[in-house]
Amino acid sequence: MYPGKWAAATPARPAVIEDATGRVVTFSELEARSARFANWLLARGLKPGDHIAALSVNDATVFELYWGAMRCGLYFTMVNTHLATDEVAYIVADSGARVLVVSGALAELGEAIVDQTPHVEHRLAFAGEVPGHLDYEATMSTMPTTPPADQPRGADMLYSSGTTGRPKGIKPAMDGAQIGDEPGPSLVSRMKQNYGFDENTVYMSPAPIYHAAPLRYATGTQAHGGTVILMDRFDAENCLAGIQKYGVTHSQWVPTHFIRMLRLPQEVRESYDVSSMRVAIHAAAPCPVEIKKSMLDWWGPVVYEYYSSTESNGATTIAPEEWLRKPGSVGRVGPGSSGLVHICDEVGEELATGEDGWIYFERDDYSFEYHNDPEKTAETRHPDHRNWTTLGDIGHLDEDGYLYLTDRAKFTIISGGVNIYPQEIENCIAVHPDVLDVAVIGIPDEVMGQSVKAVVQLAPGIEPTDAVAERITQHCLERIARYKCPRTVEFTEVIPRTQTGKLVKGRLDASI
């Protein structure tokens, strides 16, 4: 039983290392501590299909909570710590969590939601005190470290980032299997087949552990017997130093991470040895072609990409060599990926090769629903094929079956009856040397219906002037069709993004 498989084989191997503190948790310790938590949960009367939630910074304790929940057949929800208090309370309440575990670093937030989450039966706090919460270590100290006799496999139930509305709990169907050695059906095999994860893997995670990819790939690394390097936050230079220090073999990034690392002075970038890296995965948001080419020039042919979602309704992957032949593609369904891809119009009719439409994945071996929201769940299903699901992304397939993302349907700008996709414009502006980050939105226009507006976060040292706005506009005119170019450019202190790099355009729309 995991983590006992690796605790028995390599008990002293680190399962996780906290970069900021130097704390090391071995596989032997992870096995004992996760079994202890599982026994406590069972003693509290939790049964398969029940829910627990955790509110934590990047702390190694998260992994024992996760694996403890998995060993009991529970749904485990990590809560986004960057949300407002009411949003955090909403997720804890909506999930129906019977147990809530809070990191002491978030004591104020944990205390603030107590009155809004009266259904929570048990509250625990670790690495510091939280009023109204029991001390986690003291509470666990009397529990046995022997694994429970029965260990039905649980599942995560994570919430969408809420970029286009209130976060939605993504509830996968449980398969009733025993826990085995993986955090979820097929994830471990895909990680091995696509990227070569094994017991020698050293995986760096610079993003918040409450997001889907960091949590799933980190626990997947442990399932392979590898070591997770848990960064407390993303810092461009510190991550390069960590790659060198730990001999990182695998890592995961989003395009904004790449942009920030590329903006470091060349002498700083060249001072770190990143030659241990075999696979650098990126996902979560489209990557501008020029940015990815620059990363391949710097790190070599180790930059892999996949397109998927927290819903896990399907996936495409693309290796570095493929991408150089198909720049801009997010890959195709192949060995280790899930489902078939269909491109459909507004009424569900399939479109021809090269035509933009809604991206549907066809998949028979997996299903999900949005917790407590059957209407939203129904919106994801194809009108004629219930095993085809879409998340509202727009794209097209080429003649070889490679997928190209265009944008989210909800972000499409309709100007003079013509669809304009902001992602293409954002990719164009993002590589301008004066720009640190950018979002493109549609604003009301009496004549055209909507017009294109670019909201720009300038690079350090660049002052917001009309001349800079004109340079950005001219940059676009030289690279994309005139009708797509922004009519106006506005400057802002920061572009609102989730910690995985996804734009939160609702906040921009509300500020216009």
| Per-position DSSP letters for 272-306, written without gaps between them | S--TT-SEEEE-SS---HHHHHHHHHHH-TTEEEE
Distance between CA atoms of residues 495 and 482, nearest Å: 24
Tell me what pLDDT residue 161 has.
67
Q: Which residue has the tokens 């910074």?
A: 57
Strands 413-415 and 202-205: unpaired
DSSP 37-98: HHHHHHHTT--TT-EEEEE-SS-THHHHHHHHHHTTT-EEEE--TTS-HHHHHHHHHHHT-S
Query: Which DSSP category does 149 fall into?
Result: S
Can you give the pLDDT at residue 124? Answer: 98
Q: Which residues pair with 171 in a beta bridge?
A: 369
pTM of the model: 0.86
> What is the pLDDT at residue 326?
97
Given this model, what pLDDT does residue 188 score?
Answer: 82
Q: What is the pLDDT along the chain (512 residues), one digit of tens a residue?
A: 468 889 999 999 999 999 999 999 999 999 999 999 999 999 999 999 999 999 999 999 999 999 999 999 999 999 999 888 988 999 999 999 999 999 999 999 999 999 999 999 999 999 999 999 999 999 999 999 999 999 998 999 999 865 555 788 999 888 666 665 455 557 788 899 999 999 999 999 899 999 999 999 999 999 999 999 999 999 999 999 999 999 999 999 988 899 899 999 999 999 999 999 999 999 887 788 999 999 999 999 999 999 988 888 889 999 999 999 999 999 998 765 557 999 999 899 999 999 999 999 998 877 889 999 999 899 999 999 989 999 889 999 999 999 999 888 788 898 877 888 898 899 999 999 999 999 999 998 887 888 999 999 999 999 999 999 999 999 999 998 898 999 999 999 999 987 777 788 777 754 55
The pLDDT of residue 486 is 96
Closest of 249, 253, 239 to residue 197, by C-alpha:
249
CA distance 434 to 423: 19
For the chain, domains (ranges, CATH) are: 26-193 (3.40.50.12780), 329-409 (2.30.38.10), 412-511 (3.30.300.30)
The pLDDT value recorded for residue 162 is 58
> Cα(158)–Cα(167) distance, rounded to whole angstroms?
9
Residue 4, pLDDT score = 82
